Structure 1
Amino acid sequence: MSKNLGMCQLLDLYGGLLTEKQRDIMDMYYNDDFSLGEIADHYDISRQGVHDAIKRGDEALEEYESKLGLLDADNAHKQEILEYKKLALDAFNECNAHRSFRSVAEKIVTLLETFDERLADYENPEPQEEESKD
């Protein structure tokens, strides 16, 4: 996993724990692919200030992950789904080879579709709605 992808995932999980400005700077850098100069111009600060904010944010996100382990747990869950999918696919192939097990094979197709839906959640996670601030 590339460092940027890892930071994007950590930012998605723990970004709400950062200050609003730090989260916005990191979002612009990692998710929107803004340069340090572009971010500096937007906030009217130095490039070094942006660099320092990103570095502190990276360290904070990594610290949150080391203490809470949500990303590791999420990755373990995804791996578990992949293993179950493989077992279901093996069972489907065995059942499909025998006419008398066709009904079982059809049920396994439903399982495989469910696994695919769960795995798609990892590829296209639904954005979490932020609570409105009144």
Structure 2
Amino acid sequence: MAVFFMIISFFLYPFYSFFYTILRLFRFKYFFSFHLLRDFLFVMTFVMLFGDLFIAFASFLLSVFLPYLLWKFLGFSNLLAFSVGLITFMISYWFFSFVVYTVQTLALLSSHLKDAREILKKIESTSKDKTDNVLLH
């Protein structure tokens, strides 16, 4: 039974997350998470600020555009194009989520590694100064 609910949630979560993202966009004045920004690279900054919106709107646009093309130019029926749109939305949601969260993870790791490098440099310079002081005395 648990596996069944996991499979159902795998299909339903993209729709829940999309509507929650849109609701949060209109409900809160400051939607963007500025506390995650520590890197000044443009792509990482864009993904950190607009990652959720990018996932929502890219998935939505792809799920609307592909069925329209299938219906208009390839002559698919409306029901078949609609079902392709739903499947496209779920697949594109998980794909864009993976891409965005991977970039966010890399950005956070790079900022933490930069901090760790600075700490190691300070420790190295402090130990070098102490070693020089011992050798001089």
TM-score, normalised via structure 2 length: 0.30
Higher RCO (CA 8 Å, separation ≥ 6 residues): 2
Higher share of residues assigned helix: 2
Q: Whose radius of gyration is greater, 1 or 2? A: 2
